[in-house]
Amino acid sequence: MSKNVVLRPVVWIGDSKKRLKKMPEDVQKQLGGELYLAQRGEKPPHGKTFKGIGSGVFEIKDDFDSDTYRLVYAVQIGTRIYVLHAFQKKSKQGIATQKKDVDLIARRYKEAVEMEKECQS
């Protein structure tokens, strides 16, 4: 007998959903499928901790056609999953995420925390 799984609702912050929709279809399917696993409370196979923003922030990475795409989301802000950013990695040096993307993710994380506080009150 299979256990009923409750999917956590997803909240898209800023233009993150629009940016995902502009990515190649294969990338959308990959990132979307792994986000679905996160909604189910599972760890996505290509997911890892996104350090330096806050607790419970993760990124899913997909390499496609010599480009790298990322989706960053937060799971420890209430009961919802907040998608903070979706982007094509442009850094040509190492694996570091560009500062402008990190800054955007940090701003959106704070915005998500505020949104959650408003929902609680």
Quick check: helix, strand or coil at residue 85? strand
CB within 8 Å of 41: residues ≥ 6 apart: 5, 8
DSSP letter for each residue of 64-81: ETTEEEEEEEEEEETTEE
For the domain bounded by 10-120, which CATH number is listed?
A: 3.30.2310.20
Closest CA to 38 of 22, 18, 64, 57: 57
Report the distance separating Cα 108 and Cα 19, nearest Å. 15
How confident is the model over 28-81, as pLDDT tens digits? Answer: 999 999 999 999 999 999 999 998 888 899 999 999 988 899 999 999 888 899
Tokens representing 52? Answer: 């330096």
The full set of domain ranges for the chain reads: 10-120
Q: Is the pTM of this model over 0.85?
A: yes
User: In degrees to the nearest 10, what's the CA dihedral of 5, 12, 80, 72?
Assistant: 90
What pLDDT does 92 receive? 60
Report the distance separating Cα 72 and Cα 82, nearest Å. 9
What pLDDT does 34 receive? 96
Report the distance separating Cα 46 and Cα 31, nearest Å. 9
